[in-house]
Amino acid sequence: MSVADKTIVITGASRGLGAGLALAWSRQGARLGLCARREPASPGGQTITAAVDVRDAESLERFAEQVEEVLGPIDLWINNAGVLEPIAPLRKIDAKDLETHLAINAVGVHNGSKAFVRSRRALGGGGVLLNVSSGAGRNPYEGWSAYCAGKAAVDRMTEVLALEERDAGIRAYSVAPGVINTDMQATIRRASVDDFPLVERFRELERIDGFATTDEVAAGLARLAFGEPHHPEVLVDLRDLDQGT
């Protein structure tokens, strides 16, 4: 499914999955609006980049307006920005660290979703919102209380938004993309067994190269956003989508 001539915004695009999606889609001729706390490098083509903290709702609104003015109406918005840490049993986590985590992983998704929905409604509706979630939002992992809570919030927030925006023709999905070998995975592998008892499972994935590639994820997200017929569920695991479910 080609994204040629589509206008796509990706938050958290300075590294990891966000940077990989930007590179894959720039090669296909997409028009890209890329932002992160540290301004992303441009992959080339028709691209706008900016340093934007997703915790700052007004900055995201201004970025959305800039993308529209230069690249045209936003067809797809991907709330990808997120953090993993703190990794530790809940009893060891400071409340301030939890607040910072949720401000990025949950409030940041709220801010991006709001900017996109307001933009599309001003144009009469339509468009697709993809919020990057995780299997951790749907299953508990010892040591990941912050991450599990944040991603669970993203899942339910997206389900509510999908209901609220049906009349405007805006489709919203919360997507678990699978396991990709990014900096976040390296952080997981460095965790101690005491803080994250399942760490060896992720170390084994590195040994057997059991990761999805960003190109594979990009292809799956493009099918979800622009393929026909539209996927009927809001919560999506890309690995299931690849199997036709």
Q: Which residues are catalytic?
A: 147
Instruction: Determine contact, residues 70/55, Cβ cutoff 8 Å.
Output: no
DSSP assigned state of 232: S
User: Following DSSP, what letter does each residue of 89-152 receive, concatenated?
Assistant: -GGG--HHHHHHHHIIIIIHHHHHHHHHHHHHHHTTS--EEEEE--GGGTS--TTBHHHHHHHH
CA 238/CA 148 separation, integer angstroms:
18
Q: Where would I find the beta strands (DSSP E) of the chain?
A: 7-11, 31-36, 47-51, 76-79, 128-132, 171-176, 235-237
User: CA separation (Å) from 71 to 30, 49, 57, 171?
Assistant: 10, 12, 21, 21
Per the document, the length of the chain is: 245
Q: Hey, what are 12's tokens?
A: 């958290």
- 122 sits in the region (left: phi over 0; alpha: psi -120 to 50; else beta) called alpha
> Is the Cβ–Cβ distance between 13 and 21 less than 8 Å?
yes
